[in-house]
Amino acid sequence: MIALLDIQNYRLDIGTFDGPVHVLKGINLTVNRGDTLGIVGESGSGKTVLVRSVLGIGPRNSRVVEGSISFDGQDITALPEKDWTKIRGIRISMIFQDPMTYLNPLFSIGRQISDVIAAHEKAAGQGVSSKAARRARTEELLDQVGLPNLSMLFSQYPHQLSGGMRQRILIAMALAGKPDLLIADEPTTALDVTVQAQVLDLINSLVEKLNLTVIMISHDIGAIATVAKRCAVMYKGEIVEQGLTRDILNRPQHEYTQRLLAAVPDIDVAPEKAAARAAETPSAKPGHLLEAIDLKKVYRSQSGSEVTAVKSISLAVKTGEIFGVVGESGSGKSTLARMLLRLIKPTSGDIIFDGQNISGLSGEPLRQMRRHMQFVFQNPHSALNGRHTIGDAIGEPLRIQTNMSRRDIEARTEALLDIVQLPKTFKYRYPHELSGGQKQRVCIARAIALNPRLLILDEPTSALDISVQAQVLDFLQELRAELNLTYVFISHNLAVIRQICDRTIVMKRGEIVEQGETEQIFLAPREDYTKALIESGRKTSQAANL
């Protein structure tokens, strides 16, 4: 039987100013029809470059040194672009990592999916079907991925949808060409636990219903274990281990795989020395660094309709503590965080920072206040300017808020890169040359450049692989102890929340439904919603800890 995908001794170099970088080193991989293969590995290990090579969309400055990639018996290693149009998106399709990057904000969802269908029909040499036929097919795809209110959704725009809904839209687009092979690149990275579970269940159901062959890339070993029967572990451009997923999770042979599995946080395991940490933490100080009093945010559309994103929330964050915020996509977590930092103005209520009411601040006083309050955004792709080098991005707050010399800024930039474990030479690179995890580490470096007192972190580890996530969490705790920092830590990863946060609030539909000491919430949740969140997180955690 001919393998659907057969990669033999594939070696790929990427040209740089310092000479070629060996990105893929002798990759051997076979995927048969009906297979579900997971590829796991840390940022920069070559996962995404490998699958993009399968789609013929590798970096322009790349060069195949040797080896081949065959799809359904055809060598596609050096396929001309005109022949790719009959394969890419039709026979091989891909779900990308960041929905907002790949959805056009100017066009409705229905228009975008309809255009994809028309493009595939044209590429396949068929006549483009009528507008009505494409609409019917679009609604069929939306229904296939489990989205409700199809007629309303058809005319909506990406910004009107939650992260989970946008990810389902990308899946629908990927299915438009009825592919034989579906590649999913970190499809659940930025999703909360309940939506993540729904998307993984959707992928599993599509495999069964459509007889799909799936390659799934993820740094989330639990997600891989949920979907993939086989698994390949990549490290520094090589596949160091592959086999049945269950065997690799239970009996990892390679040292790197063992380290990777050891770094997976377990939602059912309490943090080590939790009591000692609670006694030593600066959160024992009675003072509150940050308070919110009856905070509310209402959005009004041009038609006059209103949506209340945050409903009269009150909270107090102690100096030096790590304050956790959890909840589903659309619960108001990010809106709350942006109000606390005054990136958006609350409709009503007060924000007290270090004893000062900052709700009405604007102009220069607000700019000076932000020196002490910094934000790590959820989406590193959007947070970094593609025209600026990494060095410029990290040095930007230093240039704006300080009188440091150019030489001192460069030295501080290199020190920050070292702190987040990136090579100093990265300061010359641009965001598109970095992986998602590497870009997130750049965002963290930029946020701590001014030694702020408060750091608001919106899903700071969602784009990081497991091993780097563990390193960043350890680093954040060390940094807190060293600089007496206070964190507001937003995450959909409940195991991470339990590991790092002193106190936690649980949000649902713009309200706080439960709050208290983190361990107490995990050991004895009071609300059904909290119990459901923890149970969803437990399923993924148990899959990774077979």
How much is the average pLDDT of 357-368?
89
424 and 277 within one domain: yes
User: What count of Cα atoms within 13 Å lies in the side-chain half-sphere of residue 33?
Assistant: 9
User: What is the predicted pLDDT for the residue at 260?
Assistant: 84
CA 313/CA 295 separation, integer angstroms: 5
Check if the beta carbon of residue 485 is closer than 8 Å to that of residue 456. Answer: no
Instruction: Read off the tokens for 132.
Output: 């009505």
CA 200/CA 209 separation, integer angstroms: 14
Q: Is residue 151 part of a domain?
A: yes
User: What is the predicted pLDDT for the residue at 85?
Assistant: 86
Q: Is residue 475 part of a domain?
A: yes
Using the 3D structure, point to which of 145, 177, 209 is the last residue of a domain. 177
How much is the average pLDDT of 339-354?
93
pLDDT of 358 above 90: yes
Using the 3D structure, point to which of 149, 177, 205 is the last residue of a domain. 177
Q: Is residue 464 part of a domain?
A: yes
The confidence band for 272, taking pLDDT boundaries of 50, 70 and 90, is low
Q: Which of 25-34, 179-188, 227-236, 270-279 has the lowest mean pLDDT?
A: 270-279
276 and 161 within one domain: no
Q: Which of 180-184, 217-221, 435-439 has the lowest mean pLDDT?
A: 435-439
User: What is the predicted pLDDT for the residue at 492?
Assistant: 78
141 and 276 within one domain: no
Using the 3D structure, point to which of 177, 205, 222 is the last residue of a domain. 177
157 and 278 within one domain: no
pLDDT of 273 above 50: no
387-400: per-residue pLDDT in tens? Answer: 999 999 999 999 99
416 and 524 within one domain: yes
527 and 399 within one domain: yes
Q: What are phi and psi of 222, to 5 degrees?
A: -65, -40
User: What is the predicted pLDDT for the residue at 92?
Assistant: 94
The confidence band for 125, taking pLDDT boundaries of 50, 70 and 90, is confident
Q: Is residue 168 part of a domain?
A: yes
Q: Give the neighbor-by-neighbor strand order of the sheet with 288-300.
A: 306-318, 288-300, 348-353, 356-357
Strands (DSSP E) found in 328-380: 348-353, 356-357, 373-376
The confidence band for 128, taking pLDDT boundaries of 50, 70 and 90, is confident
Q: 137 is in which domain, residue-wise? A: 100-177
H or E element at residue 20: strand 19-31
Amino acid letter, 53: S
pLDDT of 525 above 80: yes
User: What is the predicted pLDDT for the residue at 537?
Assistant: 73
User: What is the predicted pLDDT for the residue at 382?
Assistant: 80
534 and 390 within one domain: yes
The confidence band for 274, taking pLDDT boundaries of 50, 70 and 90, is very low
The confidence band for 45, taking pLDDT boundaries of 50, 70 and 90, is confident
Q: What are phi and psi of 127, to 5 degrees?
A: -75, 140
524 and 375 within one domain: yes
Q: Is residue 262 part of a domain?
A: no
CA 140/CA 177 separation, integer angstroms: 13
Number of domains in the chain: 2
Check if the beta carbon of residue 168 is closer than 8 Å to that of residue 147. Answer: yes
Q: Is residue 212 part of a domain?
A: no
Q: Is residue 203 part of a domain?
A: no
Q: Indicate which CATH number applies to the domain containing 446.
A: 3.40.50.300
Collapsed DSSP state (helix, strand, coil) of residue 493: coil
User: What is the predicted pLDDT for the residue at 514?
Assistant: 95
CA 298/CA 20 separation, integer angstroms: 53
278 and 170 within one domain: no
CA 214/CA 38 separation, integer angstroms: 8
Written in H, E and C, the secondary structure of 285-299 is CCCEEEEEEEEEEEE
How much is the average pLDDT of 495-509?
91
Residues 6+ away with beta carbon under 8 Å from 212? 179, 180, 181, 182, 206
CA 77/CA 56 separation, integer angstroms: 8
Q: Is residue 40 part of a domain?
A: no
Check if the beta carbon of residue 483 is closer than 8 Å to that of residue 374. Answer: no
Cross-strand bridge partners of residue 317? 290
